[in-house]
């Protein structure tokens, strides 16, 4: 814990107005609110760096004030049209502790690592961010590994139990998802793909998904990639395997919800390696 606080303070000092991220307060916030929000983001940023190494891009963080909706961040999204930006609509009446336990910042920062791959690729983009969000929270010391994997288990159960859209594969669901019900199935069906790929990769080569993403960030983060298929083949190339294309055929490209019990059992015993 002390280590984290020291890291946070040093990152905070090092980045204010200089390096990552660029801060943009779009509404009026007090200085203590600004500091609280910055520390919230920097904690997740530090968690990302512990998993993936130094991030090879700059990004901006925009804060908007929100009093509607539920929770500390009722709404957030990324914008990758010009550079990398993330927008958080925040309700600062919630405590720092509540912000720390909220997954939104980890989810959105993980989106910034990957290109926009269109509506058809939604299962891939959202599945990856959903799979990584609790790992980033674990890496940032915001949750234990047990809490992280219990949350995953809850999410998979809810997604599997959704009544509608059982006749569609997770991939095909990308094109019809426009409200909450299918989103749950889409996001966590996509996350199940990455969990199964992570396990298969580890069993075949000893590599982890986080390690593959770290290599992708070094070699290929600026590649012109426009689809989930291109991302899958890039991850195959970076890992020097066929795991990502093989697991695709075995999971999200089929009509039934992907298997999660065996992979989750494995994941519980195998937290991702932290670099620092
Ligand atoms: Zn998302």
Instruction: Tell me how far the alpha carbon of residue 2 lies from the centroid of ligand 1, in angstroms.
Output: 31
Instruction: Tell me how far the alpha carbon of residue 185 lies from the centroid of ligand 1, in angstroms.
Output: 13
Instruction: Tell me how far the alpha carbon of residue 205 lies from the centroid of ligand 1, in angstroms.
Output: 29
pLDDT digit string (tens) for 4-22?
543 454 444 444 434 689 9
* Domain boundaries defined on the chain: 2-111, 119-269
Segment-wise mean pLDDT, segments of 10 residues, the chain, 276 residues: 44 50 97 96 96 95 91 94 95 93 96 94 97 97 97 95 84 76 88 98 97 97 95 98 98 94 98 88
Instruction: Tell me how far the alpha carbon of residue 184 lies from the centroid of ligand 1, in angstroms.
Output: 11
Nearest CA-CA partner of 126 in 269, 252, 274, 260? 252
Instruction: Tell me how far the alpha carbon of residue 106 lies from the centroid of ligand 1, in angstroms.
Output: 10
Instruction: Tell me how far the alpha carbon of residue 177 lies from the centroid of ligand 1, in angstroms.
Output: 13
Q: For residue 199, what pLDDT is reported? A: 98
Q: For residue 2, what pLDDT is reported? A: 34
Instruction: Tell me how far the alpha carbon of residue 85 lies from the centroid of ligand 1, in angstroms.
Output: 13
Instruction: Tell me how far the alpha carbon of residue 41 lies from the centroid of ligand 1, in angstroms.
Output: 16
Cα–Cα distance, 29 to 81 (Å, whole number): 27
Instruction: Tell me how far the alpha carbon of residue 126 lies from the centroid of ligand 1, in angstroms.
Output: 5
pLDDT digit string (tens) for 79-133?
999 899 999 999 999 999 999 999 999 999 999 999 999 989 999 999 999 999 9
Matching CATH number, 119-269, of 1.10.10, 1.10.3470, 1.10.390, 2.40.10: 1.10.390
Q: For residue 181, what pLDDT is reported? A: 57
Kindly report the backbone phi and psi dihedral angles of residue 177, in degrees, each rounded to the nearest multiple of 5, phi listed first.
-70, 115
Instruction: Tell me how far the alpha carbon of residue 125 lies from the centroid of ligand 1, in angstroms.
Output: 7
- Burial class from Cβ neighbours inside 10 Å (0-12, 13-18, 19+) for residue 12 reads middle
Instruction: Tell me how far the alpha carbon of residue 117 lies from the centroid of ligand 1, in angstroms.
Output: 13
Cα–Cα distance, 41 to 47 (Å, whole number): 10
Q: For residue 15, what pLDDT is reported? A: 45
């Amino acid at each position: 814990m002390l280590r984290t606080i020291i890291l946070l303070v040093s990152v905070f000092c090092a980045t204010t107005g200089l390096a990552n991220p660029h801060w943009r307060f779009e509404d009026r916030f007090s200085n203590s609110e600004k500091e609280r929000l910055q520390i919230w983001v920097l904690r997740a940023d530090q968690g990302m760096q512990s998993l993936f190494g130094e991030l090879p891009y700059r990004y901006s963080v925009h804060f908007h004030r929100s009093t509607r909706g539920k929770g500390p961040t009722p709404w957030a999204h990324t914008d990758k049209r010009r550079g990398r930006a993330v927008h958080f609509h925040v309700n600062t009446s919630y405590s720092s502790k509540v912000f720390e336990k909220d997954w939104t910042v980890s989810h959105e920062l993980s989106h910034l690592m990957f290109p926009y791959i269109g509506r058809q690729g939604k299962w891939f983009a959202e599945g990856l961010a959903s799979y990584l969000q609790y790992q980033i929270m674990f890496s940032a010391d915001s949750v234990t590994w047990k809490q992280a994997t219990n949350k995953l288990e809850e999410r998979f159960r809810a997604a599997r139990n959704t009544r509608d859209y059982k006749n569609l594969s997770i991939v095909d669901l990308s094109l019809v998802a426009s409200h909450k019900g299918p989103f749950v199935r889409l996001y966590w069906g996509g996350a199940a793909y990455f969990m199964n790929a992570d396990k298969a990769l580890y069993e075949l080569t000893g590599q982890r998904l986080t390690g593959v993403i770290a290599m992708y960030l070094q070699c290929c983060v600026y590649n012109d990639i426009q689809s989930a298929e291109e991302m899958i083949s890039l991850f195959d190339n970076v890992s020097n395997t066929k795991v990502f294309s093989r697991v695709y055929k075995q999971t999200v490209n089929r009509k039934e919800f992907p298997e999660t019990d065996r992979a989750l059992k494995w994941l519980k015993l195998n937290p991702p390696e932290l670099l620092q």
